[in-house]
Structure 1
């Protein structure tokens, strides 16, 4: 059982790292429409050019870990979410192509900027749809998906998609505050405050909608004592939000990004507490969905080796490319 929970922690950690790291570079594409100047857009692209490829490592790690440690969950989730996963991957591919070609295009530069915006928005939205569908619960019968191909197309999932777009946009703006200076940084600061408000609205909407949407979820929240464990979360969110507005007023450089991470972490912890100990809410527990212990131990040895390597080269990449971007810089 300890190995099963260790794998759950590894997957949860990998997912959080993906949301944080790939989230801010997707967010840069989401806020592109607020900055129509090509020179400023070049600087924004240059701010993520050295790291955006490596950020997606965590998505690959999460998928591989899920397949190895919880193959039943992998099977059910891919069957239920096949279409939004395909749409997300198409958007990521489209965005990657746009990223590479835009830096070399002249006459079609605006077209590739539009493609970059659309790819970033689509990938963010469908990731949120996947998350919302998972949290809302996937119908399972005899450890198989028991719904139809468009089961994921529901209001709560669409709301989650929009909410994750707001999350990524805030992360992108806060990251660019760190990487830029002057007038561009000032306008990015002015964008962080409204995006924080939008994110708070979505967090409240999801928190209210979740127990109201399903009697089973409501019973879990209010009859099992779970609510008492979640009570500190909204107070901490309010404190972090107030600190965010203070950081924006004082034109701090690094604090907005750290506080955005804190908001996301609080929301993430709230979601984890809400679904624990389920692997598929609220149908299949982690223990029921786990691979045989021998398989989990075998792949855990590999994870113990590879995780520090990923963390080390990710840290090194950010350290090497630290500092501000400058006007006229080129990315390749």
Structure 2
């Protein structure tokens, strides 16, 4: 499947072209293949291992969904207790207004009620954090399950809609007071020794058949700790038809949490920052300047893509989700 991308020609016009064609069928499509240790693995045994992995993932997924169900019920119960206490606080204040005095009795009662309210809020907060962690675990298991299932060729419209949904459902980071956003939260880069997991979506710098290098949206297939190289699949190609083996410096993990501009604005790229952003309706990342960072949790970045077809050298502002805006790792000289 070719990728639709924007490219500026010599006349400065912008057009949609096919980036590349899939390479020739590799030996991995044959009945047998050689593993790194030199042993021969039959297709049937490989399928059996994949089926066992899929069954294991499905069992873990069911258990996690059951745990999330109980956590949600605990949150509701804790919230009901908290609301009851808040009602008592309101009634106490109403009685104080009627009597028009603050007696030692009311002071003592309110102190106890407010302490209880704070404890209720902390308990509810802890349960909500557990629920959010469980949701993130479920999403990870779902992605693992997709890795072990045969991939289906998607129509472009379906793929674009799926990428948009992935961006919308990206978990929101909610830290404790004073807690700093962790790596891979918004604009916060991954730790230097971070290794992306199988099934993770990443930006990958690949070289096409004509020698041109592009940053594409890809999925991690495997990581070789001996060679420190990734195997990734082009997200916009049939499984295995555009597989690349790349060094770690050619891989940039995508954020795994969204950032709230109200609570953690420092974890967002500021206005004027140079970034790599996924061009709308494509699966390619291009250099861009942040025009405006998100203003709300549900908002996107507004970015200006480099484009020589415009007198200013940049496109008009375009919206790109937090999920698909990353630090610029382009080695090209400015």
TM-score norm. by structure 2 comes to 0.30
Structure with more contact order per residue of length (Cα contacts < 8 Å, sep ≥ 6):
1
Which structure's residues are more often helix, by fraction? 1
Of Structure 1 and Structure 2, which has the larger fraction of its residues in strand?
2
Q: Provide the TM-score with structure 1 as the length reference.
A: 0.30
